[in-house]
Amino acid sequence: MTVTILVVALVLLALFAWRRELHWRQSVLKITKAAGLRDFEADKLGAKFAGLIEAETALHKEEYLRRLFESLLNEIRQGVVITDDHQRIKFCNRTMGHLFHRPSIHRGRTLLEEFSDHEINDIVQAALLNQRRTVKEIELNTPLAAGMVSSRHYLIEAAPLPAKAEAGAWLMVYDITEQTMAEQVRKDFVANASHELRTPLTLINGYIETLQSGVIKDDAAMKRCLDVMEKHGKRIIRIIEDMLTISRLENGSSALNLEPFTARSCVQDALDHLAPMLEGRDTRFQLDFPSDGGHMVGDRFYWDQVFTNLLENAIKENPNPGLMIKVTGQWFADHCVIRVSDNGIGIPAHDLPFVFKRFFRGHKHHSPEIKGTGLGLSIVRRTIEAHGGTIELTSTPGVETTFTIRVPLTGTAVN
């Protein structure tokens, strides 16, 4: 039944179109005859008129397809540019503007005029000269607001337009900053983890050989050797525990052991644990919590790691004297807000998006004596998220760096 209705509809549509065409042809004949033209001249004029109608229809169809094509290109995640053979921009999708932080890109201008970068211009030029696809990775410093600069990595791909099309080239831009950073972080982690594990193991093996040789006779010297071995053994255990902790948190392989505790006692335990790091350092602490210490419900083991990592991070990254670390807590009806801030050297703006990523280590200008695998802040973020909370970081270098933690007080775990 449906097929029959469809066939009838198509027939009626064709009949309507035929009747409409017949109607305007008859109208044209009447007009031409009224004007005194002969029949064959009227037919020629009618044919000419039909040709104009078909041309207009084709033009509308071409315009529709062009708009559809541009709309589709505006939705993809890659930047797309089409240029003529002089590298003047004929089309540019919206993504291209987003990638280069530009409100608009003007057609008719050359790539060099619009982007002020010779590398992009040279890639397209090479594609046009060699008449083949050209691919290259580049790094560009893109200006942001307030005079800041963002370093981004792009994969640029260019090729000449097909032979049947107009002379010119197409250009596609991929933002590969995240992939590049991830690969660099992976390489850094392999190097850092190898160093972090090799150094204490080398020391432990050295002391073992010394003890086995029988050179050390007195008990005091032997105790010093054993103390050093114990210290570096604990360091290896800490690195391995950090790796296991982040793995469990990210895979959701272990449930949280929820129990009541106070945030202040948790912070105090972290400070006691870090006491050896503070010997001989001019570092002050200021704790500001509600009179009851700030009651929470969560996994105390993980929260100990949160405050230990945040405080240890502030101490390690700020070796200069005069460091002030503040830990404050505000309790509300359904959530609490805890802030850990310091007046140290701060975190550069270009590092802020990456500090919570696994294995990331910023401040490459710092002393190589600063140790770590870059897992601490990643553990902090995953622990807080597992408790249903959030953590934010703000930093004004040389003034203040603040970690702001917001956690619901319902005690609900979110894995």
The pLDDT tens digits for 343-384 are 988 888 878 887 887 766 665 444 444 455 677 888 899 999
- Give me 389's structure tokens: 């909370």
3-state helix/strand/coil string of the chain: CHHHHHHHHHHHHHHHHHHHHHHHHHHHHHHHHHCCCCHHHHHHHHHHHHHHHHHHHHHHHHHHHHHHHHHHHHHCCCEEEEEECCCEEEEECHHHHHHCCCCCCCCCCEHHHHHCCHHHHHHHHHHHHHCCCEEEEEEEEEECHHHCEEEEEEEEEEEECCCCCCCEEEEEEEECHHHHHHHHHHHHHHHHHHHHHHHHHHHHHHHHHHHHHCCCCCHHHHHHHHHHHHHHHHHHHHHHHHHHHHHHHHHCCCCCCEEEEEHHHHHHHHHHHCHHHHCCCCEEEEEECCCCCCEEEEEHHHHHHHHHHHHHHHHHHCCCCCEEEEEEEEECCCEEEEEEEECCCCCCHHHHHHCCCCCCCCCCCCCCCCCCCCCHHHHHHHHHHHCCCEEEEEEECCCEEEEEEEEECCCCCCC
Q: How far is CA 17 from CA 20, 54, 251, in A?
A: 5, 14, 64
Check pLDDT > 50 for residue 242: yes
Report whether 242 contacts 276 (CB < 8 A).
Answer: no
Lowest mean pLDDT among 72-76, 182-186, 289-293: 72-76
pLDDT at 34: 55
Indicate the residue type of 40.
Answer: F
SS (H, E, C) 11-47: HHHHHHHHHHHHHHHHHHHHHHHHCCCCHHHHHHHHH
Instruction: Catalogue all structural domains in the chain, each as residue range(s) with its CATH number.
Output: 2-73 (no CATH), 77-175 (3.30.450.20), 180-251 (1.10.287.130), 258-408 (3.30.565.10)
Question: At which residue do the structure tokens 């996994």 appear?
Answer: 299
Residue 330 has pLDDT above 90, yes or no: yes
Lowest-confidence segment of 51-55, 88-92, 385-389 by average pLDDT: 51-55
pLDDT band (50, 70, 90) for residue 268:
very high
Q: Do 335 and 314 meet the contact criterion of CB atoms below 8 Å apart?
A: no
Tell me the average pLDDT across 311-317: 89
pTM score > 0.75 for this model? no
Residue 411 has pLDDT above 70, yes or no: no
Displacement of CA 286 from its chain's centroid (Å): 35
State the Cα–Cα distance between residues 334 and 151, nearest whole angstrom: 40
State how beta strands 390-396 and 149-160 pair: unpaired
pLDDT greater at residue 4 or residue 109: 109
